[in-house]
A and B are shown apart, each in its own frame.
Chain A
Amino acid sequence: MATNDTALTPPAHEEHHTSTGLDNTKMAMWAFLGSECLFFGSLISTYLLYRSRAGSGPTPGEIYDIPFTSVSSFVLLMSSLTMVLALAAIQRGDERGLRTWLLATAFLGMTFIGGQVYEFTTFYEEGLALSKSPFGSAFFMATGFHGAHVTVGILMLLALVGMSMAGRLTVDGARKVELIGLYWHFVDIVWIVIFTVVYLVPTE
């Protein structure tokens, strides 16, 4: 297995042997992300069913601000890059670099969330609410749960920063960072799907 093996950070404890060679926690994260695919799939399917049911409220075509959302999507995409850089840092033993890139990732994530908050507030002022129409309900549910996932991700990134500062990532740290990285990249991929299906594909 040994994807975490580095020349400069030899494993300080015996790696537990596993039947498949894949680390337990990594396998668990993959399994969990598999279930999350169904979770977001159901939310997005609901959106697809309801996107043309705007009732008396604004329709997707009327309310979306594609340029704005494109910018915040780009921000989130860049956060995946910084996440990769964070992992590379700890893999070569550079904990200071790790913390820098983790904070950058968290900061980009927070910017994305900030953009979401701004967007939701604007939509609300323009007449689209959770309770307004099936379109409103489905839109806010899908993007809201995604935002909640990003927020949890940010908290975990900050926790990693804290753990690094407390010296708790010197042993087996790369594995933990990789784990959160997997989650973070997944949340990013979900956003790419949402951005495409919800925002970009036009609703007749």
Chain B
Amino acid sequence: MATAALQPRRTIFARPTATTGWYSWLTTVDHKKIGIMYGVTAFVFFLLGGLEALAIRAQLAVPDGEVLNADVYNQFFTMHGITMIFLVVMPMGVALFNYFVPLMIGARDVAFPRLNALSYWIFLFGGIFIYSSFFLGGAPDGGWFGYAPLNRDLPSHGMDFYAVGLQVLGVASLAGAVNFIVTILNMRAPGMTLMRMPVFVWMTLVVSFLLLFAMPVIAVALFQLMFDRLFDTTFFNVAAGGDPLLWQHLFWLFGHPEVYILILPAMGIVSEVLPTFSRKPIFGYAAVVFAGAAIGFMGWGVWAHHMFAAGLGPVANSAFALSTMFIAVPTGVKIFNWIGTLWGGSLRFPTAMKFSIGFIAMFIIGGLSGVTHAIVPHDAQQTDTYYVVAHFHYVLFGGALFGIMSGLYYWWPKIFGHRLSEKLGSLNFWLWFIGFNLTFGPMHIVGLQGMPRRVYTYPDGMGWNLWNMMETVGAFIIALATLVFLFNVAVSRRKGRNEAGSDPWDARTLEWATSSPPPEYNFAEIPIVEHRDDFWHKKYFVGPGRTAEPVFSGGAVDHADDEETEPHIHMPSPSYFPLIAAFGMLVSAYAVIFALPAVAIGLLITTLGFFGWVFEPGTAE
């Protein structure tokens, strides 16, 4: 274990040394611990976002509902969107990137462990900051998309929390993106060429580049909104000559790559789970990888399909209709290749596999409804109705969340050393599947029957009552399914239950080549990689008849948990300066809204944090 620094200049700079207890979590720079913190925090926000959804559904269960008034409803639907996108799906992806990318590439940690910790603390503080708005004058109420000029006119502090809060979260994402790009490009084990990396790692790389280039665009838009609200600039002040469409262009230039940021991690997970439980490699690895990169690249050329009703004109609308249609092609490639992975396999269906297959089935629906949006004259009907709400919930819930659940069930034994109960997992899956389809399936119908989005109520006699009631029932089934998951987590922890060794699924990639959970240094010896799915190749070879035959040397597990042979590997020391720097940002965030001069205090704290970071002694060699 890392020791205290050789020559601390001042004791304030001595690196903390705790490895257990809560203080070790506050100062950790270990990607695995950070991954767990991201996951737990994101799950708590998932529960909050889910409660918001339940409230919305309770209000919309019947016409002229009286559960929430218009003001509260508008805050709830705004926060539901912000929560699920920025505080759940994105950080869940990051949680799994954090835990598994270093393991999958045979590295001991990410390139910049303290920067990694900084990203987490900024995320946590950013989320707390945004949610504190409920108690400080009202939560954001302009929709997650916050269109101008409404966004600058809304009177409560809500939209200030929106502008500042998303800015703070953006810093965390950007830092994380830089970290993962450098980690993946620079820290692969010897022999792991890019085309030998697991698909999940490739998707992390594509997502990181998307974040790198998309976050600055929304940062500019948010600065413009912030300055309009705080300093009376005129970016979106129509009377002074401002153009509301500027916001939309900037927002969606970010916003469309953002949806690929949301879905690609789940696609990566599915690309790992399917081969393991089909017992054969992914079908068309290169195509799956290139399709992911193509989706990332083409995703920059479709943004104005969110603006088909904004009046951009027939030429622009046609161009974006075409680009939107054609982005379905690489998406289709992935779907066909996943089915090709299943084809000819020997399929087992543990919960992880159920969720991955559920992903494919639901994503086909969401993808098809997405293509119908590209038919511009009909999108003029569909847009801003529940038909669109159905589409994006099929791809984000049926897609991203199902994929994340698949990853959780799959990787749980690696992280915690025990499996989650398969019986409860199956119940979790089916309840979630039924509840999900009952909630969002009818939204296609009620949207096509003319029910708009973002409405706190609707009148009787529109033909929408039955569908809305069904959707509400479905939402509560989803809630029940979530409770089953939590129950599963709780009961599976009991000692001795479902204990898992290093490779409980007989899987293919390097994370399974070390103990469950891995030691702090991940691998006693950095593996030398000779194939894609190198771990699988240590266990099997392809014999005549194109079937897998076991290799006699029997498993390639890294024997790192032998106490006697505990290797002397120096890992980066913990540090509390990332926490301090992040805290300074929280102070500045509140100051921007409530006491502008106090921003200097926040900046000072952050600067001190960075100074300590720079000057603290390095890890003892």
Contact = CB atoms under 8 A, between A and B. Distances in A.
Consider the complex of A and B and state whether they touch directly, i.e. have CB atoms less than 8 Å apart. yes
Interface of A: 13, 18-20, 22, 24, 27-28, 31-32, 34-36, 38-39, 42-43, 46, 49-50, 53, 55, 130-134, 136-138, 141, 145, 159
B586 to A, nearest CB: 20
Given A20-B186, A28-B178, A46-B224, A134 B250 contact: no
Contact of B223 (A24, A50, A136, A141): A141
9 contacts: A13-B621, A24-B111, A31-B178, A31-B181, A35-B174, A39-B216, A42-B216, A53-B241, A159-B614
Interface stretch (B228-236, B309-317, B422-430): B228-236
B130 to A, nearest CB: 22
B233 A27 contact: no
B213 A38 contact: yes
Contacts of B286: none
B556 interface: no
B216 A141 contact: no
The listed residue with most B CB atoms (<10 A of its CB), out of A20, A28, A34, is A28
B220 A27 contact: no
Nearest to B9: A166
B246 A49 contact: yes
B443 to A, nearest CB: 34
B234 A133 contact: yes
Contacts of A134: 234-235, 237, 240-243
Contacts of B224: 46, 137, 141
Contacts of B614: 159
B334 interface: no
Contacts of A159: 614
A28 to B, nearest CB: 5
A7 to B, nearest CB: 25
Contact of A27 (B186, B216, B221): B186
Interface string B610-621: 000010000001
Contact of A42 (B174, B220, B233, B621): B220
A24 B219 contact: no
B182 A35 contact: no
A55 B240 contact: yes
A130 B231 contact: yes
5 tightest CB-CB pairs across the interface, nearest first? A39-B216, A42-B220, A53-B241, A137-B233, A18-B186
Given A24-B112, A39-B216, A32 B621 contact: no
Given A31-B177, A35-B216, A137 B227 contact: yes
Contacts of B220: 39, 42-43, 46
Contacts of A18: 186-187
Contacts of B177: 31, 35
Interface in B138-184: 174, 177-179, 181-182
Interface of B, secondary structure class, is: helix
A55 B224 CA distance: 18
Contacts of A145: 223
Contact of B216 (A20, A36, A53, A136): A36
B185 interface: yes
Interface in B328-359: none
A133 B235 contact: no
B503 to A, nearest CB: 26
The listed residue with most A CB atoms (<10 A of its CB), out of B182, B227, B235, is B182
B231 A34 contact: no
Nearest to B219: A39
Contact of B217 (A42, A130, A133): A42
A35 B173 CA distance: 12
Contacts of B213: 34-35, 38
A46 B225 CA distance: 13
A163 to B, nearest CB: 8
A53 B186 CA distance: 47
A139 to B, nearest CB: 11
B212 A42 contact: no
B188 interface: yes
B56 interface: no
A173 to B, nearest CB: 13
Nearest to A54: B241
A179 B36 CA distance: 32
The listed residue with most B CB atoms (<10 A of its CB), out of A27, A42, A50, A55, is A42
B215 interface: yes
Given A136-B234, A141-B224, A35 B187 contact: no
Given A38-B213, A55-B241, A134-B235, A19 B223 contact: no
A62 to B, nearest CB: 16
Nearest to A32: B178
B209 to A, nearest CB: 9
A19 B234 contact: no
A20 B112 contact: no
B248 to A, nearest CB: 12
Given A46-B224, A138-B235, 18 more contacts: A18-B187, A24-B112, A24-B182, A24-B187, A27-B181, A28-B182, A31-B182, A32-B178, A35-B213, A38-B216, A39-B216, A42-B221, A46-B235, A55-B234, A130-B233, A133-B234, A137-B224, A137-B235
Given A38-B217, A42-B220, A141-B227, A20 B234 contact: no
Contact of B182 (A27, A36, A43, A131): A27
B529 to A, nearest CB: 11
Contacts of A132: 234
B227 A46 contact: no
A137 B182 contact: no
B141 to A, nearest CB: 25
B246 A46 contact: yes
B186 A22 contact: yes
Contacts of A43: 220
Contact of B233 (A13, A19, A31, A131): A131
B606 to A, nearest CB: 12
Nearest to B185: A20
Contacts of B178: 28, 31-32, 35
A134 B148 CA distance: 14
B231 A27 contact: no
Contacts of A22: 186
Given A39-B216, A43-B220, A27 B235 contact: no
A18 B223 CA distance: 37
A36 B240 CA distance: 29
Contact of A28 (B111, B221, B234): B111
Contact of A50 (B111, B187, B188, B241): B241
Contacts of A53: 241-242
A61 to B, nearest CB: 17
Nearest to A155: B607
Interface in B237-253: 237, 240-243, 246, 250, 253
Interface string B191-207: 01000000000000000
